Amino acid sequence: MVNGSNWTFRQPFNFWTSILGLPTLIIALIGLVGNAVVLWLLGFRMHRNAFSVYVLNLVGADFLFLCFPIIVSLKKLNFTFLSFLPFILKYLPIVMTCSYLTGLSVLSAISAERCLSILCSIWYGCHHPIHTSAVICAILWALSLLLRILDFYPCSFLSINFNYWCQTFSFITAAWLIILFMVLSISSLTLLIKVICGSRRVPLTRLYVTIGLTVLVFLFCGLPIGIISFLLSWIHKNDKSLRFSKRTALFLSSINSSANPIIYLFVGSCRRGQHRRQQRPSLKLVLEKAFQDIPEVEKSGESLPQETMESLTSS
């Protein structure tokens, strides 16, 4: 459970904070710019399909999450001239937790949907309306916001008699996180098995590479913040090891939210079997190639024609 009230960092600026605070701020700023570029391209420059809608919401969740370490870093650096910081910090835990829950939910939905499209291809093709991904993302945003508000307001502004209420919604949020993690793990493992094993192997496409790298980075860098914040809800908050652990988890989660644009750039710009010099593709084309769900033709060291690839990715 990601409880944002545990992440306000009221401790004074010290040596350990300076070690992790500055790298966290730098990574968050870079990630904020990268996610903003992807948001602009996906939102205004590219034709949206089912998968790009999921990515658009995932990038939006990462963008909002990265605002948290930046604002916290400004507070820790004693930028007292920023008069709006106290107001923002009051509601920042809600934004942080909602964006984290939404990011995990959307990533789980991406992995689960791709798994269904492979295991039940006929059923998936007949029972997948055009706007399914947009509806699912809207529901996930609403559910994440609802869970966070129900957990935050009674525990922060009401009397101590609501302790049972707080514990109940903490368990509900933790149970939801566990369910999402199980869905993400099982569907990702199934995709991996279908791609590399079996008599009916699924052709490896750039889309599956993008999904695999995104899930892998989340498991290593995004998951610790959920585990640590759950421990902070039940263990004494003044424990020094946990105070350093939450800073480390925030640092790793900043890496996770900043890594996705780099993954898209890496997968989209990677060229297989192309020895001749070509003109450097635009960011829009690189992003389209990163979400390409068709196998590349390796004959004569060439991929599918650009027009064919763009028509398929926009379908």
Domains with residue ranges and CATH for the chain: 4-257 (1.20.1070.10)
| Contact between 23 and 251 (Cβ < 8 Å) | yes
For residues 43 and 53, what is the distance between their CA atoms, to the nearest angstrom? 9
For residues 264 and 292, what is the distance between their CA atoms, to the nearest angstrom? 11
Side-chain half-sphere of 199: how many Cα atoms within 13 Å?
Answer: 0
Angle, helices 50-76 vs 85-119, to 10°: value is: 150
pLDDT tens column, 228-258: 776 666 665 555 666 667 778 888 999 999 9
3-state DSSP: the chain helix, strand, coil percent, rounded to 5? Answer: 75, 0, 25
Average pLDDT, the chain: 76
Residue 64 pLDDT: 92
The one-letter amino acid code at 134 reads A
pLDDT at 21 over 50: yes
pLDDT at 57 over 80: yes
Residue 141 pLDDT: 94
Please state the pTM of the whole predicted model.
0.82
